Amino acid sequence: MSETPKRVTPVSLRKMKESRSPIVMMTAYDFPSAELLDRAGVDVILVGDSLGTVIQGKKTTLSVTLDEMIYHTELVARAAKRALVVADLPFPYAQLGPADAVRACAEILKQSNAGAVKIEGGEKRADVVRAVTDAGIPVMGHCGLMPQEIRKLGCYKVQRDEDALRRDLAAIQENGAFAVVLECVPREISRRLTAELAIPTIGIGAGAGCDGQVLVFHDLLGYHLPEEKAPKHARAYADLGSVITGAVQRYADEVRNGQFPSDENSF
């Protein structure tokens, strides 16, 4: 009889930072993807509101709804046996204030069985982080580039204001966040800030000095049109776009020339 794998928790991640064991985090948006990531030993599976751009083909994450986040998170959480499942709090619940954020985060955990939520924003979202953690809901922060503020930023760009980042990180740590994603921050700044924090940092486009790294499932696997390139901060470890396109083209050819189905594929 196989043993049930030991579940990763927010406390586990803190211990990983203390022991200098790098944290492996990836996004997933459905059951089979999460099942594969969990089996491969990923520590944290993030159900990101990036599903708006990655899955829905939209330009930003802003239109992703709470119901959509709950739906995708429930699929992922049902598959994960070991990994900590973290769900993004979609726009605009954190921006509306603590009461709305607590209600939305509670619905995510209640309906999906996620282990934690991720909230974008630093110093100005400290009251939201405190309210959600006081409600017994674990919070992962998100500082640096914040995609939910794209309308204000105007474009996705590297965040270089070290003093502002330091204030943001200190505020969310002091208000109960158990870890924080650092997005698009120069590597030397990330390294210094990571050394100053008691909670783990998980980088995306933030260099090797963070306590862990996160990549989007589709970027890592090259799961897009063959002519498309992964973002600068990502690395493609496979070329599924070409594999899928080639397989479907072979199937189509065999259907059209009568090779499929063969007698072996028929009852």
Cα separation, 88 vs 46, whole angstroms: 8
How confident is the model over 173-197, as a mean pLDDT? 98
Two structure tokens written together for 251: 């199937």
Of 35-49, 124-138, 143-157, which gets the smallest average pLDDT? 143-157
How confident is the model over 101-106, as a mean pLDDT? 98
How confident is the model over 4-32, as a mean pLDDT? 95
Residue 157: the pLDDT is 84
Whether 188 is catalytic is no
Cα separation, 118 vs 25, whole angstroms: 13
Q: Residues 18, 162, 174, 183: which is the catalytic one?
A: 183
Of 4-13, 65-74, 148-157, 249-258, which gets the smallest average pLDDT? 148-157
Percent of the chain with pLDDT over 70: 98
* pLDDT tens, position by position, 49-98: 999 999 999 999 999 999 999 999 999 999 999 999 999 999 999 999 99
* pLDDT surpasses 70 at 265: yes
Cα separation, 186 vs 209, whole angstroms: 10
What are the chain's domains? Answer: 10-236 (3.20.20.60), 239-267 (no CATH)
* pLDDT surpasses 90 at 154: no
Provide the pLDDT confidence category of residue 1 given band limits of 50, 70 and 90. Answer: very low
Phi, psi of 19 (to 5 degrees): -95, 5
Percent of the chain with pLDDT over 90: 89
**What pTM was estimated for this model as a whole?**
0.95
Residue 4: the pLDDT is 56
Residue 181: the pLDDT is 98
CA 30 to chain centroid:
13
* pLDDT surpasses 50 at 32: yes
* pLDDT surpasses 60 at 174: yes
Residue 156: the pLDDT is 76
Query: What is the overall mean pLDDT for the chain?
Result: 95
* pLDDT surpasses 60 at 2: no
Q: Report DSSP state, residue 148.
A: G
Cα separation, 37 vs 27, whole angstroms: 9
* pLDDT surpasses 90 at 131: yes
How confident is the model over 197-211, as a mean pLDDT? 98
Phi, psi of 162 (to 5 degrees): -65, -40
Cα separation, 33 vs 114, whole angstroms: 16
DSSP-based three-state secondary structure for 233: coil
